[in-house]
Amino acid sequence: MSVQTSLITEPAALADLTAKVAEAPWIALDTEFTRVRTYYARLGLVQIATTGEIACVDPLALDIEPLLEALYAPRSLKILHAARQDLEVFYDRRGSVPVPLFDTQIAAALVGHPEQIAYASLVEALAGVKLPKLHTRTDWEARPLSTEQLHYAQDDVRFLGALYEELAAELDRRGRAAWLEEECRALADAALYANDPAVAYQRIKGGHMLTPAGQARLKRLAEWRERTAKSRDLPRGWVAPDNVLIDLARSAPTDRAALARVRGVTPAVVRTHGEALLDLLHADGKEPGEKLWSDPRPPTAEEQALLRRLQARVEEAATDAGVAPAVVGGRRAVLELMRGGGGPLARGWRRTLVGHELIGILAGTAA
């Protein structure tokens, strides 16, 4: 079957594509975006494939909201590869992600391919086509786009339909379609993309080393940075890098002169944000009595022996199932189950595969 390809820059062509998307049982989907100088990704291209057509839609030339309405319709399956970053772009635009989803990277891992197999590698493995490695660092906001750039962008969705059909059939054959549905439901969780300022501190490495008061200061600083970055559409690091927030939370300067002596705090930061930072650092009565981070206690010798035993069982179960052990659960997941009885191994298909057995072993050791 021949496939029509096009670059959509005119409203009439977009309306035709939108009508086709609205009727399609599945839609292969990808985006090209930049996020070098901004907090929110700047959408440069939307690639769509349906049966018999591949289209690159120019969001810089068109209002794509009608197309997004069709993409978000729940009747059609959205097929993406390694979808999380693309879904974040859609979430930032509309406050939710298009569902239902089929992530070919996740599907491939559930039938025995490497956990994070690249799209080009999966196309080569399943379709026998070697894709060129071009334009991976393209500025997708620059115009005009070259023929080579458009061909590269089209290739990103050209094979997704075929990958979906083969992987879906293999999942069905192995009785694992429900596994993928579970993973894709989790991938569609809005909490993954919300970037709640109240918990922004959790992504800052080294915060657990601070005192409880220092952690409280860091939490306030991180929340301020997140809100500032969002409101000004700037990268977090342009507002204040992580290491500067850590140093501020640790040293708690009391005036602008002391603030200026903190490594990485520029005169521009003092001038623009000095009073706000000092207020945050010395907000009265808000320091909690306990740390926000629990201390990463290393396993005892007894726990190490049990951890090795449980990890070995996970690896054995994963090997028997024909999937990489990391897909089922790594050391962190096993330790979480040991210490708190929860985590990925305690729910869903992982619990069915091996988690229930691990829980039984833990119950026996505790008896």
pLDDT of residue 298: 84
What CATH number did the domain enclosing 244 receive?
1.10.150.80
Of residues 356, 253, 23, 114, the one with CA closest to residue 345: 356
* Claim to verify: residue 123 and residue 262 sit in the same structural domain: no
The answer to the question of residue 100 being in a domain is yes
Phi, psi of 152 (to 5 degrees): -60, -45
* Claim to verify: residue 161 and residue 260 sit in the same structural domain: no
Confidence label for 135 from pLDDT (cuts 50, 70 and 90): low
* Claim to verify: residue 263 and residue 214 sit in the same structural domain: yes
- Token readout for 94 is 């509309």
Question: With 60 as the cut, is the pLDDT of residue 199 above it?
Answer: yes
The answer to the question of residue 353 being in a domain is yes
Q: Is 241 exposed, middle or buried (0-12, 13-18, 19+ CB in 10 A)?
A: middle
- Token readout for 93 is 């635009």
Rounded (10°) angle between helices 212-232 and 267-281: 130
CA dihedral (87, 117, 115, 96) in degrees, to 10, reads: 0
**244 conformational bin, left if phi > 0, alpha if psi -120 to 50, beta if neither:** alpha
Question: How many distinct structural domains can be found in the chain?
Answer: 3
Residues 58, 44: Cα–Cα separation, whole Å: 7
Question: With 60 as the cut, is the pLDDT of residue 367 above it?
Answer: no
Q: Cα–Cα–Cα angle for 323, 326, 329, nearest 5°? A: 105
* Claim to verify: residue 85 and residue 11 sit in the same structural domain: yes
* Claim to verify: residue 269 and residue 321 sit in the same structural domain: no
Of residues 133, 125, 3, 19, the one with CA closest to residue 67: 19
* Claim to verify: residue 66 and residue 110 sit in the same structural domain: yes
pLDDT of residue 365: 80
Q: What is the mean pLDDT of residues 110-114?
A: 97
Q: Show the domain range for 345.
A: 301-366
What percentage of the chain reaches a pLDDT higher than 70?
Answer: 96
pLDDT of residue 38: 96
* Claim to verify: residue 187 and residue 42 sit in the same structural domain: yes
Span 328-344, pLDDT tens digits: 999 999 999 999 899 99
288 or 59, higher pLDDT: 59
* Claim to verify: residue 260 and residue 165 sit in the same structural domain: no
Confidence label for 294 from pLDDT (cuts 50, 70 and 90): confident
Question: With 80 as the cut, is the pLDDT of residue 290 above it?
Answer: no
Q: Is 227 exposed, middle or buried (0-12, 13-18, 19+ CB in 10 A)?
A: middle
Question: With 70 as the cut, is the pLDDT of residue 366 above it?
Answer: no
Cβ atoms of residues 335 and 311 within 8 Å = no
The answer to the question of residue 288 being in a domain is no
pLDDT of residue 291: 83
Q: What is the mean pLDDT of the chain?
A: 93
* Claim to verify: residue 160 and residue 214 sit in the same structural domain: no
Phi, psi of 258 (to 5 degrees): -65, -35
What percentage of the chain reaches a pLDDT higher than 90?
Answer: 87
Question: With 70 as the cut, is the pLDDT of residue 287 above it?
Answer: no
133 or 248, higher pLDDT: 248
The answer to the question of residue 287 being in a domain is no
Confidence label for 197 from pLDDT (cuts 50, 70 and 90): very high
pLDDT of residue 285: 62
Question: With 80 as the cut, is the pLDDT of residue 160 above it?
Answer: yes
* Claim to verify: residue 181 and residue 208 sit in the same structural domain: no
Residues 30, 10: Cα–Cα separation, whole Å: 20
- Token readout for 40 is 């929110």
The answer to the question of residue 115 being in a domain is yes
Q: What is the mean pLDDT of residues 16-44?
A: 96
Domain boundary among 221, 249, 281: 281
Domain boundary among 134, 159, 192: 192
The answer to the question of residue 230 being in a domain is yes
Q: What residue has token string 């569609």?
A: 188
Q: How far is C-alpha 200 from the geometric centre of its chain's CA atoms?
A: 15
Q: What residue has token string 């879904």?
A: 87
The answer to the question of residue 184 being in a domain is yes
Question: With 70 as the cut, is the pLDDT of residue 2 above it?
Answer: no
Q: What is the mean pLDDT of residues 218-247?
A: 96
What CATH number did the domain enclosing 145 receive?
3.30.420.10
Q: What is the mean pLDDT of residues 51-75?
A: 96
Q: What is the mean pLDDT of residues 55-77?
A: 97
Residues 44, 54: Cα–Cα separation, whole Å: 17
Lowest mean pLDDT among 228-242, 289-303, 353-367: 289-303
Q: What distance, in Å, lies between the first and last C-alpha atoms of the chain?
A: 64
Q: What is the mean pLDDT of residues 129-150?
A: 86
* Claim to verify: residue 182 and residue 224 sit in the same structural domain: no
The answer to the question of residue 213 being in a domain is yes
Domain boundary among 153, 171, 192: 192
* 3-state helix/strand/coil string of the chain: CCCEEEEECCHHHHHHHHHHHHHCCEEEEEEEEECCCCCCCEEEEEEEEECCEEEEECCCCCCCHHHHHHHCCCCCEEEECCCHHHHHHHHHHHCCCCCCEEEHHHHHHHCCCCCCCCHHHHHHHHHCCCCCCCCCCCCCCCCCCCHHHHHHHHHHHHCHHHHHHHHHHHHHHHCCHHHHHHHHHHHCCHHHCCCCHHHHHHHCCCHHHCCHHHHHHHHHHHHHHHHHHHHHCCCHHHHCCHHHHHHHHHHCCCCHHHHHHCCCCCHHHHHHHHHHHHHHHCCCCCCCCCCCCCCCCCCCHHHHHHHHHHHHHHHHHHHHHCCCHHHHCCHHHHHHHHHHCCCHHHCHHHHHHHHHHHHHHHHHHHC
73 or 298, higher pLDDT: 73
* Claim to verify: residue 65 and residue 132 sit in the same structural domain: yes
